[in-house]
Amino acid sequence: MRLASTAAELPERPRDGARAIVMTMGALHEGHLTLVRRARELGAQVIVTIFVNPLQFNDPADLERYPRTLEADCALLEAEGVDAVFAPSVEEMYPGGDPVVTVSAGAIGEVFEGAHRPGHFDGVLTVVLKLMHLTSPDVALFGAKDAQQVIAVRAMVRDLAVPVRVEAVPTVRDPDGLALSSRNVHLSRADREAALALPRALAAAAAAARNGDPAADVVRTGTNVLTEATRASAKFAVDYFAALDPRTAQQVPDDHRGEAVIAVAATVGGTRLIDNMTVLIDPEGSP
């Protein structure tokens, strides 16, 4: 496995095959490795980028605290059969300091996770586009758990005609249903119990959608589960539970028909968790 800190040090593109890229900020866990395994399944040359992108942090203390574990990450990636790791420095990525020209996520960046972290999605898209230019992949894989990030990247690729296929890899869950996240280690046993309301609310909403309920009822069904959880634990606070348009990340109207991403964010004992599920809302099409 090659470790490159500049694009020039990357291996040559395969002559006949494809190149796949998995972008990360390091501190790798099972969720990242699932993306890598999927990339390998595609039979592509696999490049993993590791870059803690200053542009997507609102709080300088968060950026400072972000774990940097390059050696351990490389060991994991080597064991997965990755072809190359691209780990540029901040100076390599942004030689003149913060870039003057950046990508805007527009309205996608202003709602839900974007409202919680202003400017975050602009920073994500700017680095994603730059990493795509530097590595010229055929396909880029992202975790479906960060639904709004996937929506923003897909919109950028579509709107700016970036010649890269974007693949969202399904969320990996623990047997109890909780989505894998590096933040789960901060949950006490009681917090974890309370956190299970997130997948329960999503499952309830998905069942309502399968039942042919209209969008407003699908959301209400999930919200009821979360209201119960809030009553049961003072440490559980819901940020949002909503049905999002998969192209725009805006809340769908009550009479929406078609796919929707049911997205949830909640804080459990000080740990903020997100999760989502894609459903088909089709009241008249159901039996």
Residue 137 token pair? 């992949």
What's the DSSP call for residue 33? H
Q: What are the residue numbers of the active site?
A: 32
2-4 and 84-86 strand pairing: parallel
What's the DSSP call for residue 238? E
Nearer to ligand PAF, 150 or 206 (CB): 150
Cα–Cα nearest to 18, from 103, 109, 83? 83
Nearer to ligand PAF, 52 or 207 (CB): 52
The rounded distance, in Å, linking the Cα atoms of 82 and 85 is 8
148 binds ligand PAF, rule: CB under 6 A? no
C-beta of residue 251 within 8 angstroms of C-beta of residue 266: no
Q: Please, what is the minimum distance in Å from the beta carbon of residue 206 to ligand PAF?
A: 24
Strands (E) in 160-270, as ranges, are: 165-169, 236-244, 258-268
Residue 80 token pair? 């997965």
Residues 62/65/70/75 CA torsion (nearest 10 deg)? -100
Nearer to ligand PAF, 25 or 264 (CB): 25
Per CB under 6 A, the list member of 20, 21, 25, 150 interacting with ligand PAF is 25
181 binds ligand PAF, rule: CB under 6 A? no
152 binds ligand PAF, rule: CB under 6 A? no
The rounded distance, in Å, linking the Cα atoms of 261 and 244 is 5
24 binds ligand PAF, rule: CB under 6 A? yes
Between the two ends of the chain, the Cα-to-Cα distance in Å is 53
The residue sitting closest to ligand PAF, measured at its beta carbon, is 23
128 binds ligand PAF, rule: CB under 6 A? yes
125 binds ligand PAF, rule: CB under 6 A? no
Per CB under 6 A, the list member of 124, 141, 202, 218 interacting with ligand PAF is 124
Exposure string of 255-280, with b = 16+ CB inside 10 Å and e = fewer, is: ebeebbbbbbbbebbebebbbbbbbe
Size of the site for ligand PAF (CB under 6 A): 10
73 binds ligand PAF, rule: CB under 6 A? no
35 binds ligand PAF, rule: CB under 6 A? no
Nearer to ligand PAF, 103 or 208 (CB): 103
Q: Please, what is the minimum distance in Å from the beta carbon of residue 195 to ligand PAF?
A: 20
> What residue ranges bind ligand PAF (CB under 6 A)?
23-25, 53, 56, 124, 127-128, 146, 149
